[in-house]
Amino acid sequence: MDDTTMDVTTWLLQGPAWVRYLTRRDLLGSAPTDKALAIDRQAMLDDPQVGTLVVALQNWQGEVMKNHKAAGHPMHKLNFVADLGLRAGDPGMDKVIEQVMAHPSPEGPFALLSNYPTVFGGSGQDEWLWALCDAPNLVSALIRFGLGDHPQVQRAVDHLTGLVQENGWRCSASPLLGKFRGPGKKEDPCPYANLVMLKALGQTESGRTSPAARSGVEAILTLWQERRDRAAYLFKMGTDFCKLKAPLVWYDLLHVLDTLSRFPACKGDPRLREMVDQLTGKMASDGRCTPESVWTAWKDWEFGQKKAPSYFITFLAHRIIKRVS
């Protein structure tokens, strides 16, 4: 560990309890039995902001999905608490998990209460539906909560994985949505669908080395390579894509790197190295990272401002570098 990383780690251990916990777990490699790790994890569970999220998630059926980019939707809150390391058995989480799993579709993926306008092939009514831009987020969170071996979760993963094509995952959704498809060419891979599918498969060793994962990894790396010539499904990989932003909600540099850095297929790939160079180029000389864009739904969190370095974004950046180095 070089001096800069050591200094950054010391600074991160002065941050919020959830950053301290993640730093010990993922950067310092503390053993599960480590006392300091346990203290920080309990402090995270006691943190009022984290507790408020868990309480909000217990009203899982109370907000209709109308826009997958809505950063304050429960789906994104669910993934954030999973990113923090909450799991089944933690206070309030069993009730959340029960509600998420309460609506398995006939095909396998878990459904969200959604409303697709008729102009996009929906009914314009509130319905329990799934699409490749939401279902992988649910199974990804459930795996991280410790439910990876649950038969319903396995069935959902199997179905979603089976939708892969030779160039990754294309736009796909519940049969109830008929011929629904996002704004892109039918044969193009959907950038966000590939990202969230890889996020789900990246939670297990078998998923990380699967042929489906290799197709998804190549799809995203190819989209980066060809970013100046095309933007599949309107997902551009330009200036806005490269802005540092948390939590990991949409298709952007931090989210893509945090996901791809889990996969052996990326090791040594020059396209990944280019993205990492974009990230390191945004670090201050002390290794800290300041948010360049914010989600207004998360403005009360320490990463919800653009004036000072963020503990969480700095942690994410150094975890990515550790994985790929």
pLDDT digits (tens, 9 = 90+) for 225-235: 999 988 888 88
> Does residue 1 surpass a pLDDT of 60?
no
Confidence of residue 6 (pLDDT cuts 50, 70, 90): low
Percent above pLDDT 90 for the chain? 82
Tokens standing for residue 87:
């799991």
State the CB neighbour count (10 A cutoff) for residue 323: 17
Span 49-98, pLDDT tens digits: 999 999 999 999 888 988 999 999 999 999 999 999 999 999 999 999 99
pLDDT score at 186: 83
By mean pLDDT, which of 63-67, 162-166, 209-213, 294-298 is the weakest? Answer: 63-67
* pLDDT greater at residue 58 or residue 182: 58
The DSSP result for 170-212, as a single string, is PP-B-GGGTT---SS-TTSPPHHHHHHHHHHHTTSHHHHTSHH
Burial class (CB in 10 A: 0-12, 13-18, 19+), 28: middle
Distance, in Å, from the CA atom of 290 to the CA atom of 24, rounded to the nearest integer, reads 21
Check pLDDT > 70 for residue 3. no
The whole-angstrom separation of Cα 140 and Cα 219 is 19
What integer is the mean pLDDT of 21-45? 97
Residue 47, classified by CB atoms within 10 Å of its CB into exposed (0-12), middle (13-18) or buried (19+), is middle
Q: What is the pLDDT of the chain when averaged over all its residues?
A: 94
Token readout for 193 is 């669908």
How many Å apart are CA 92 and CA 95, to the nearest integer? 6
- Collect all residues with Cβ–Cβ distance below 8 Å to 82 and sequence separation of at least 6: 140, 141, 144, 145
| For residue 196, pLDDT beyond 50 | yes
Rounded to whole angstroms, the Cα distance separating 51 from 115 reads 29
Helical (H) or strand (E) element with 239: helix 239-242
Cα–Cα dist 194/220, whole Å:
7
Q: What is the dihedral of CA 70, 303, 141, 135, to 10 degrees?
A: 20
Fold of 94-324: Glycosyltransferase (1.50.10)
How does pLDDT run across 248-286, given as a tens digit for each residue?
999 999 999 999 999 988 989 999 999 999 999 999 999
